[in-house]
Structure 1
Amino acid sequence: TRRFSRSSMLLFVIAACVARGLGSEARWRGGSSGSDGGAARTLLVIGAANADIIVDVDRLPVAGETVCARDGVRVVPGGKGCNQAIAVARLGDGVAARFVAQLGADSHGAMLVNTLLEHGVDVSRCVRQPGGDSGQGYVFLEPGGTVSSIVAAGANGCWPELTAEACAQLVAGASAVLLQREVPERVNEAVAAAACAQRIPVLQDIGGGGRPIS
């Protein structure tokens, strides 16, 4: 059974609130109608996808020390953007999740894409970078539930330059856009500008990143 930190659970709550509010936003923007007569709703998530490598430990090592894990290492999908997209897709209720991310051309990238597809997330705009490594999160879980982690950005930090036209195409048809801070800030700025130009609501999870908000 996968365990989630408080911050991960908060991400799911944020995604749920956004998704359930999309119907009125889409109608306000004159969105197309779905088969149930309501407005079609798509949440566009721009963000990171990581292979989370989870290690259960009795305690963290001090400087220069080696400790042994209690159990075998587990590799599961993670990253704020990936978690958000899957959470929204699992909600159903007529809300579709479209995820845009940069992934490596490695086994972790394949695992992430397959997991997203299994949950019904649209990954048609995800990019597998030739020769690149997918992002990885090294998660250390202590008995009391305390979680410590180290993130290696990998492909998440290697987004290409986005033109205004490319961003306009990315956000086209979305009822709302959800951003977070595990990708370069220039990506968030460009996507947010394109969404605002099309009167699409933008929300951002400001956790993580370790840098000022621009």
Structure 2
Amino acid sequence: MSTLLVIGSANADHVLTFNELPKAGQTLISQQYRFELGGKGANQAVAAARLSNTQQKVSLISALGDDSNAAIMRKSWAADGIDLNGCYEFKDHSTGTAMIFVNQHGENSIGVVPGANALLSVMHIQQQQNLFTQANYMLIQLETPLDSVREALSLAKQHGCTTILNPAPAATLSHDILCLIDIITPNETEAFALTGIEVIDQESASKAADYLHDQGVNIVIITLGSKGAYFSEKGQGQHIPTPVVSAIDTVAAGDTFNGALMVALDDGKSLKNAVEFANKASSITVTRNGAQSSIPYRIELT
């Protein structure tokens, strides 16, 4: 059996929908409120678990509070078959929380309170070395402390595990982190934060990818929303379009892409086919409301 390791945040999402997103100083009445399970790490673990084959096992390292939200999360993740032995629970702390505003076009604005996510330390990562020794791929994001992200990338490399960083939320990263990354998956905003290059077309995407290659990253995949994704390996790039759909909610689209990408690569798919698989999965996610509730199952992609 192949093990896929996801490390990252878990959030209780409070979602409000509007015709248009509120502007600074503006108060709008929401059309709908929903409670959802989210957080980039948890979303990506759920995507990987739902899209995996019968020979793949997904493990999650995450940090939760000791509240009712944590219990709801554990029950939901277990139902998706995720190994939760790496999930910590911190007493007297709340589980991470996100406030999400979504407009009629499926666009969103998100504010996050880290809660227990901020407590996932280097020590906690080191305590889970057995998961690194078993894993073929490790997927991580930037909603947990950067020192812990660096330690996870380093441990994964030591154990011969292919590392995937989804650099979200957008941040500038130093060379000592970038050189530990095998595959990086920024969107346009995140690519600009990493490289200083504004991605507006294939030529600028290629320049941003070349910058990251020079920093030691083997494979760069820049997600472009409804325009698909641009991937580059060893300086050879290609744009892959995404299926045309009517998007209603883009929350968790990028997370679905990342979880699907890891599954497909571990399946033995070529990079091009893996990106196509990930595009297809995320194109389903945007046609549904919610975070983890919107993520498709493998059978839906056949």
**TM-score (norm: length of structure 1):** 0.75
Q: Cα gap change, 1:104/1:211 in structure 2, threshold over 3 Å: closer, same or farther?
A: farther
Partner of 1:155: helix, strand, or coil?
A: helix
Q: Which has the higher contact order (CA 8 A, sep 6+)?
A: 1
**SS of the residue aligned with 1:136?**
strand
Deviation at 1:161, TM superposition (A): 3.7
1:90 aligns with 2:56: no
Partner residue in 2 for 1:122: 83
2:120 aligned with 1:159 = yes
Structure-1 separation of matches of 2:124 and 2:77: 26
Give SS of 2:27's match. coil
Matched, 1:75 2:35: yes
1:143 aligned partner? 104
Q: Is the 8 A contact 2:10 2:42 kept in 1?
A: yes
Aligned-pair RMSD on alpha carbons?
1.8
The one of 15, 38, 57 aligned to 1:54: 15
Unaligned runs of 5+ in 2: 178-302
- Kindly provide the amino acid, as one letter, of the partner of residue 77 in structure 1: L
Flag the 1:205–1:137 CA change in 2: closer, same or farther, 3 A. same
Other-structure match for 1:179: 140
Match of residue 157 from structure 2: 196
Does structure 1 retain, via aligned residues, the 8 Å contact 2:122–2:151? Answer: no
> Closer, same or farther in 2 for the Cα pair 1:200/1:139, shift >3 Å?
same
Percent same amino acid at aligned positions? 29
Q: Residues 90 and 163 from structure 1, CA distance in 2 versus in 1: closer, same or farther, beyond 3 angstroms?
A: closer
- Say whether residues 1:131 and 2:70 are aligned partners: no
CA change 1:169–1:136 in 2 (3 A) is same
Q: d(CA) in 1 for partners of 2:6 and 2:125?
A: 18
**Partner deviation per Cα, 1:14-69 (whole Å, 9 max, x = no partner):** xxxxxxxxxxxxxxxxxxxxxxxxxx201010111111111111233334432211
Matched letter for residue 108 of structure 1: N
TM-score by structure 2 length? 0.54
Letter in 2 for 1:193: S
What amino acid maps onto 2:34 in structure 1? R
Q: Which residue of 2 aligns with 1:113?
A: 74
SS in 2 for 1:183: coil
SS of equivalent residue, structure 1 residue 124: strand
Q: Is the 8 A contact 2:4 2:137 kept in 1?
A: yes
* Residues in 2 aligned to 1:65 and 1:203: alpha-carbon distance in whole angstroms: 39
Per-residue CA shift, 1:183-212, capped at 9, x if unaligned? 111111111211211111111111315343
Q: Say if 2:101 and 2:109, in contact at 8 Å, map to a contact too.
A: yes
Q: What secondary structure is seen at the aligned counterpart in 1 of 2:85?
A: coil
For the residues of structure 2 that align with 1:191 and 1:113, how far apart are their CA atoms?
A: 22
Deviation at 1:88, TM superposition (A): 1.1
The verdict on how the C-alpha distance between 1:205 and 1:164 changes in structure 2, with shifts beyond 3 A counting, is closer
Give SS of 1:126's match.
strand
Write the letter of the residue equivalent to 1:204.
L
Normalized per residue, which structure has more helix? 2
CA separation of 1:194/1:161 partners in 2, compared to 1, >3 Å: closer, same or farther? closer
